Amino acid sequence: MSANHSSTNTSVSEHMQSGLPTIPDTPVWRNRTLLAISLAVCVTYIGLSMVTPIRVLYAEQQGASLTIISMMANAFLISNFAFQFPAGWLSDKLGHKRLMIIGLILQAILTIIYLVITDPILFIVLRFLEGMVGAAVAPAGRAMVIEAVPEHQRGEAFGIFGAALNVGFLLGPGLGGLLGYTNTFIGSVVTRLIGLVLIITLVKSGISHKITQTKQKTKLPLHMLFPLGLIGAYVIAFGDYLFLGFDQTVMPIWLHNDLGATVTVVGIIYMLWSVPNIILSPLGGRLADRLSRKWIILVGGLLQVPLYMAYGLANSATLVGILFVIHGAVYGLMLPALDAHVATSSTANTRAQIQGLYNMFGFMGAFVGSTLFLPLYHLNFRLPLVVNGIGYGISILIGCLIIFASQRKRA
């Protein structure tokens, strides 16, 4: 009880000293701003995930070779990586809500363009633009969550935020698999527009606007972006996103061509990850606010390594689906602790920029994964996932050693 009161007093004191508005210390599940952001993100990610299992197969149907598909993924990952930090800086300057609105409008426009493209080469250009726009949305959304709750509630807040995001990932792939190619892209545009309306009407910009005004008066030292604890998180993000590189290039083809999954089954497998994640993310958030976050990150990360190895050994889509359920549960319990660690390591002046840097290092890992895994897939379809497991395990060990060292240094 005393730890919670101490954390609350520290959070309020920091805001008063910096001239920022005080965040009300209400139960996190009653925080209207957090719930509004989570609802908007949920709807937006329905649209995003509708296209995820379809895009590669759609491009393949339009005549795109595996080389072009790999270049599509790399174009997205490179642009997302390159624009994460600039977008975070812009979000801190313009206001998180404003940048998120602009990003959602551009996402809707880019999604509908897929239906008028006939030259597979243009898919590469389109994915580059999507990566650029996507970089504007994620840091802004996470920065708004950080501003909506006090420090001692951020684990639980990110648990709720993560659950909402995974509801989107649960519903989207299934809808995409059922709707087919053309209707999926149209549906994705509609959901982005609904998310846009929710952001405009339900999310207040008062706190973000006042914080932005305060931040513009101070000059940001570069070392604030790279404290030891955050460097550890950046290393973990790099390893975590290796699988995104596999997902963006090979995964739908691996499931469809090597394991015999239909387009509908591919969508269902994506959904199976989200179900336990939705259920357990709020619990993971509560644990992150009550237990040692560094140990949750370490144990949760190491438990994922054998799951990646098991994917590589799988001979059926059914087994992959079962493993996805287990993996989603472990990830849902671990991720809020990592998110809360990153949030707590940032200040009011650096929130979106640090979120951008965190995602930037992640997308660097995704780019390495997409570049490495396609040639490995050509050698043997099992190799990418085995290498993914090894790489992720190394990043967890190194990242957690750095986080542990930073906390010993502080103590």
Residues 250 and 120: their CA atoms lie apart, in Å, by 17
Determine what percent of the chain is predicted with pLDDT higher than 70: 88
- pLDDT tens-digit readout, 75-96: 888 888 888 878 878 887 888 8
Position 153 scores a pLDDT of 81
Determine what percent of the chain is predicted with pLDDT higher than 90: 34
- pLDDT tens-digit readout, 95-108: 888 888 999 999 99
**How large is the C-alpha radius of gyration of the chain?**
20
In a domain, residue 238? The reply is yes
Position 220 scores a pLDDT of 57
Domain containing 239 — which CATH number?
1.20.1250.20
Q: Give 392's contacts (C-beta < 8 A, 6+ positions apart).
A: 239, 240, 242, 243, 301, 304, 305, 308
- Residue 386: band (very low, low, confident or very high) from pLDDT cuts 50, 70, 90: very high
Position 155 scores a pLDDT of 80
Calculate mean pLDDT across residues 225-245. 93
Position 411 scores a pLDDT of 64
Q: Give 193's contacts (C-beta < 8 A, 6+ positions apart).
A: 104, 108
Residues 377 and 107: their CA atoms lie apart, in Å, by 31
SS (H, E, C) 166-221: HHHHHHHHHHHHHHCHHHHHHHHHHHHHHHHHHHHHHCCCHHHHHHHHHHCCCCCC
Contact 335, 154 (CB under 8 A): no
CA-wise closest residue to 229 among 288, 297, 162: 297
Calculate mean pLDDT across residues 124-147. 86
Position 240 scores a pLDDT of 96
The full length of the chain comes to 411
What's the Cα-to-Cα distance from 158 to each of 276, 283, 328, 344, rounded to whole Å?
16, 11, 16, 12
Residues 137 and 36: their CA atoms lie apart, in Å, by 15
CA-wise closest residue to 351 among 23, 75, 51: 23
Position 205 scores a pLDDT of 63
Q: Give 177's contacts (C-beta < 8 A, 6+ positions apart).
A: 53, 54, 263, 264, 265, 266, 267, 268
Calculate mean pLDDT across residues 283-305. 94
Q: Which domain holds residue 142?
A: 28-410
Position 221 scores a pLDDT of 64
In a domain, residue 20? The reply is no
- Residue 398: band (very low, low, confident or very high) from pLDDT cuts 50, 70, 90: very high
Contact 72, 131 (CB under 8 A): no
Residues 115 and 140: their CA atoms lie apart, in Å, by 29
What pTM, to 2 d.p., does this model score?
0.73
Q: Please count the structural domains in the chain.
A: 1
In a domain, residue 6? The reply is no
In a domain, residue 1? The reply is no
Residue 18 has pLDDT above 60, yes or no: no
Q: Name the range with the highest mean pLDDT among 99-113, 153-167, 173-187.
A: 99-113
Residues 188 and 209: their CA atoms lie apart, in Å, by 30
- pLDDT tens-digit readout, 27-49: 777 788 888 888 888 888 888 88
In a domain, residue 8? The reply is no
Contact 249, 373 (CB under 8 A): yes
Position 15 scores a pLDDT of 43
In a domain, residue 287? The reply is yes
In a domain, residue 278? The reply is yes
CA-wise closest residue to 401 among 235, 238, 227, 155: 235
Contact 312, 383 (CB under 8 A): yes
Position 85 scores a pLDDT of 78
Residues 44 and 141: their CA atoms lie apart, in Å, by 11
- What does the mean pLDDT of the chain come to? 83
